[in-house]
Structure 1
């Protein structure tokens, strides 16, 4: 009696048969010595490690609405001299010390400056410097185009329904008032004597 090879074992219940078959085929074609179960274990472990690495790598400095990822460079010009800083970890570092953009502008210029107007930013992987104020304006413009969240949409809908209900109640009250006035005008005490017709046999 032949022993069942690991590659002949049925697919795990959570994996569709078609995907399992594709995995077995790939392992054969690539000459891998891994069984499908071992390959799945390694794939899941790799996926978890990648997810954790991605979560840990999102570091940077939060400047009001603007997030500057680690590796971002900042600079401003004072009397023809460029002063440079960079985002290291979660800090903005200028001349070896952790500062805010406002502090950087003040230290570099020696007086109070509008950091948004004075500082230029180079994001990681980009080739062009962009003024911080322009970058912030672009970010705010993009944010205004983002559709509302489910909670915000429900709040907007609830407000619209409340306004519509309030308008409907007002219209109904007005219609009732008009109907009452019309009814009262038709009652005998409001009619002129010559409006009353005599019954003719």
Structure 2
């Protein structure tokens, strides 16, 4: 498409956009709003295609530009994820190192650190974020190979149980027959012919 060619919006979309701009009090024209929307869409597409960077803390991934906070003795201490590191007081640290630098040894970084993810407005406790991830992982469906393994184990357990029940039933029926044999009866249990 060359620069002289233009793209027109369908009349219904143009009308809907013009109504929205008017009702929201925007000073943008529909053409200006369309240009802004297209540029934002292209930027989001580029950002989505870029590799995600951040800090991997065990199973919790903290994306770049996230902030970490720890409150201790009435003060708040902050760090930020830059690239693939947590930067606290100008140095790259682990979450545990941050907690130890603030409050000394014996602190639980999962419990003490709060995280503000990019685009969020509320801080979340690190332990709660980790727990949510674990719950989601537990709910995820098994892969086909895992499902087959679980099914095979269940079938094996069922077969073992069935064999044990058959063996028990055989043992019980054998004992019943043996109890009825004359050698296992007491003398007074046997009936004589004269009665």
* TM-score bucket (shorter structure): 0.5 to 0.7
Partners in 1 of 2:132 and 2:172 — Cα distance?
54
Give the one of 133, 158, 161 matched to 2:127. Answer: 133
CA distance in 1: counterparts of 2:113 and 2:129, whole angstroms: 11
Partner of 1:98: 92
* Alignment TM-score, normalising by the size of structure 1: 0.60
5+ residue gaps in structure 2? Answer: 1-5, 9-44
State how 1:158-169 maps to structure 2 within 5 Å.
158-169=152-163
Aligned to 2:112: 118
Question: What are structure 1's unaligned runs of at least 5 residues?
Answer: 1-28, 32-49
How many residue pairs end up in the alignment?
149
3-state secondary structure, aligned to 1:71: coil
User: What is the aligned counterpart of 2:54 among 56, 60, 70?
Assistant: 60
Per-residue deviation, 1:103: 0.2
Aligned to 1:84: 78
Query: Could you list the per-position Cα deviations for residues 23-71 of structure 1 after superposition, in whole angstroms to 9, with x for gaps in the alignment?
Result: xxxxxx969xxxxxxxxxxxxxxxxxx79973x5222111122110111
Q: CA RMSD in A?
A: 3.3
Change (3 A) 1:189 1:84: closer
CA deviation vs aligned residue, 1:82-126 (integer Å, no higher than 9, x gap): 211111111111122111001011112344422122211000111
Secondary structure (helix, strand or coil) at the match of 1:77 reads strand
Shift in CA distance, 96/166, structure 1 to aligned 2, threshold 3 Å = same
**In the alignment, which residue of structure 2 is the partner of 1:177?**
171
- 1:75 deviates by 1.2
Point out the more displaced range, 156-165 or 119-128. 156-165
TM-score (norm 2): 0.62
